[in-house]
C-alpha cells in the first residue's frame, strides 16, 4: 500500500489573502446552507467496536435511496422510502475480511431487476487476497442472496479497489484493479440479468509501461443508450494522468485508451485518488478528479476546468445537470458545486470519502453521503439535494 500525498504548502502571503477570501465566501455559503435541510444521520455506530465506513449511494426510479457501507467485515445496506428522511438498515452478508478505506469498500446499483452490491473480501484481506463478490436483492434490500465471485482468477482483486455502474434494464458492469499478471491492470465483467450471473471477465486496459496507478480506484458509467465508459489513473511516461476507454457492446471490447485533460502530472508515487465519471445528455462524458491537490472537471478532448483546491472528488448527472462534490482536505470541508453555479457551497464541515448519486430517468432526486468526522468515527450522513440547488 502506498501513502497518501500531503497537501501542497501555501506561502504566508497567499495564506493571508486566501483567509480573507474564505471569510467572505463562508458568510454567503452559510446563508445558502441554512436554507437547505440539515444532513441526515443514516447510521451511528460510534458505540460499536466496528465503525460504519465507506458509504455508496444508489437511487431507483421511484426515489428510494439505498446506501451500502461496511461495518467491520459485514456489508450493510440502509434504505429510505421517504426520500432520505428516515433509514432502515439490513445486513447484506460477509465474504471474509472486507476491504475498506481510501475508496475501498462496497459499490451499489439499483435496476428494475433489483439491487446489486459488490465488495472485495478475502480470507486474509489487507492486500494479501481478495475477490470481487456480488450480492443481490429483489425486495428493496430486505433480504440478500450471494455472494457470487465476479473475477475469474482468485485473489487477483486483492488491492480492493473497484467501480460499478448499471442501466435500469439490469445491465451492469464492474471494473477493478487486477493483479493476475503480477502488474496492476484494469479488468471488468458484465452482467446482463441484474446480477443473477456474470460474464467472463475481460482485460480493459494494460499499460505499455507495465502497470496502471496502483492505488486509485477505477470508475464506471453508462450513457442512456448503453455506451459504457471506464476511467482510471494511468502510470505512463512518468505521469499519473486520468484515462478512459469506451465500449459499445457492454464491455466485450473497448476502444484504445484516451487521456483526459491537457496537462500532465509527473509523479513517482500513487496519490490514492481515483475521481469519478458520469454521462450527461446521453453523450457527454463528464469526469472529475484530483491533480496535485486541486480538483478538475473535464470532457474528452477538452481542457480541464479547475473547480478548487481539494481531494476525493465525485460527480453525478441528473436531469437538471452535473453535480460535483469534493473535500477541501481529507478529512475536511465537503464542497458541492451544483449545475449552473460557479461557486460551491459547504455541505459539511468535517467529512471523509464523499459520494453523490442521482436517479435514472425523469426522477431528479440527488443524494450525497459521506463519513462524518465530528470527533467520533462511525457516523454516516447523507444530504438530499433539492432541484432548487441547480437554479
User: DSSP code of 253?
Assistant: S
What distance in Å separates the CA atoms of residue 213 and residue 181, rounded to the nearest whole number? 15
* C-alpha cell, 232: 482510471
145-149 and 305-309: which strand pairing? unpaired
Digit-by-digit pLDDT tens for the chain (391 residues) are 433 333 333 333 343 333 333 433 443 444 345 345 789 999 999 999 999 999 999 999 999 999 999 999 999 999 999 999 999 999 999 999 999 999 999 999 999 999 999 999 999 999 999 999 999 999 999 999 999 999 999 999 999 999 999 999 999 999 999 999 999 999 999 999 999 999 999 999 999 999 999 999 999 999 999 999 999 999 999 999 999 999 999 999 999 999 999 999 999 999 999 999 999 988 899 999 999 999 999 999 999 999 999 999 999 999 889 999 999 999 999 999 999 999 999 999 999 999 999 997 777 899 999 999 877 799 999 999 964 433 3
Q: What is the pLDDT of residue 31?
A: 33
Q: What is the pLDDT of residue 263?
A: 98
| Other beta carbons less than 10 A from residue 10's beta carbon | 12
User: DSSP code of 184?
Assistant: -
CA distances to 9, 21, 127, 272, 356 from 353, in Å: 22, 26, 20, 12, 10
Q: What is the pLDDT of residue 158?
A: 98
* C-alpha cell, 168: 435500469
Within 8 A by CB and 6+ apart from 188, the residues are: 173, 174, 175, 176, 201, 202, 204, 220, 230, 251
Torsion region of 103: left, alpha or beta (phi above 0 gives left; psi -120 to 50 gives alpha): left
Q: What is the pLDDT of residue 33?
A: 54
Is the pTM higher than 0.75? The answer reads: yes
Q: What is the pLDDT of residue 21?
A: 39
CA distances to 153, 210, 325, 330 from 385, in Å: 41, 42, 12, 22
Amino acid at each position: 500500500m502506498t501513502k497518501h500525498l500531503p497537501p501542497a504548502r501555501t506561502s504566508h502571503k497567499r495564506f493571508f489573502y486566501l483567509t480573507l477570501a474564505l471569510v467572505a465566501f463562508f458568510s454567503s455559503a452559510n446563508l445558502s446552507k441554512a436554507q437547505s435541510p440539515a444532513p441526515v444521520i443514516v447510521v451511528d455506530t460510534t458505540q460499536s467496536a466496528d465503525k460504519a465506513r465507506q458509504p455508496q449511494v444508489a437511487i431507483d426510479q421511484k426515489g428510494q435511496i439505498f446506501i451500502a457501507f461496511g461495518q467491520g467485515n459485514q456489508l450493510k445496506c440502509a434504505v429510505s422510502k421517504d426520500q432520505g428522511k428516515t433509514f432502515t438498515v439490513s445486513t447484506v452478508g460477509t465474504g471474509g475480511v472486507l476491504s475498506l478505506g481510501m475508496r475501498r469498500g462496497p459499490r451499489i446499483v439499483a435496476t428494475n431487476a433489483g439491487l446489486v452490491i459488490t465488495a472485495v473480501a478475502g480470507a486474509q484481506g489487507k492486500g494479501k487476497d481478495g475477490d470481487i463478490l456480488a450480492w443481490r436483492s429483489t425486495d428493496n434490500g430486505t433480504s440478500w442472496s450471494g455472494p457470487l465471485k465476479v473475477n475469474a482468477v482468485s485473489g487477483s482483486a486483492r488491492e480492493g479497489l473497484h467501480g460499478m455502474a448499471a442501466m435500469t434494464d439490469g445491465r451492469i458492469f464492474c471494473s477493478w484493479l487486477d493483479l493476475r499478471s503480477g502488474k496492476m491492470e484494469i479488468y471488468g465483467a458484465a452482467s446482463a440479468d441484474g446480477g443473477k450471473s456474470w460474464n467472463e471477465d475481460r482485460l480493459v486496459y494494460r499499460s505499455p509501461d507495465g502497470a496502471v496507478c496502483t492505488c486509485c480506484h477505477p470508475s464506471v458509467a453508462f450513457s442512456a443508450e448503453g455506451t459504457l465508459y471506464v476511467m482510471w489513473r494511468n502510470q505512463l511516461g512518468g505521469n499519473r494522468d486520468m484515462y478512459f476507454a469506451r465500449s459499445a457492446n457492454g464491455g466485450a471490447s473497448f476502444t484504445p485508451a484516451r487521456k483526459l485533460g491537457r496537462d500532465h502530472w509527473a509523479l513517482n508515487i500513487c496519490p490514492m485518488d481515483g475521481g469519478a465519471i458520469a454521462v450527461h445528455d446521453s453523450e457527454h462524458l463528464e469526469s472529475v478528479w484530483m491533480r496535485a491537490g486541486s480538483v478538475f472537471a473535464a470532457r474528452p478532448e477538452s481542457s480541464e476546468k479547475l473547480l478548487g483546491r481539494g481531494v476525493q472528488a465525485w460527480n453525478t448527472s441528473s436531469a437538471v445537470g452535473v453535480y460535483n462534490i469534493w473535500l477541501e482536505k481529507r478529512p475536511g470541508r465537503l464542497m458541492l458545486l451544483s449545475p449552473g453555479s460557479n461557486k460551491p457551497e459547504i455541505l459539511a464541515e468535517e467529512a471523509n470519502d464523499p459520494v453523490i448519486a442521482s436517479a435514472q430517468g425523469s426522477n431528479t432526486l440527488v443524494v450525497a453521503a459521506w463519513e462524518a468526522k465530528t470527533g467520533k468515527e462511525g457516523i454516516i450522513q447523507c444530504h438530499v439535494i433539492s432541484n432548487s440547488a441547480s437554479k
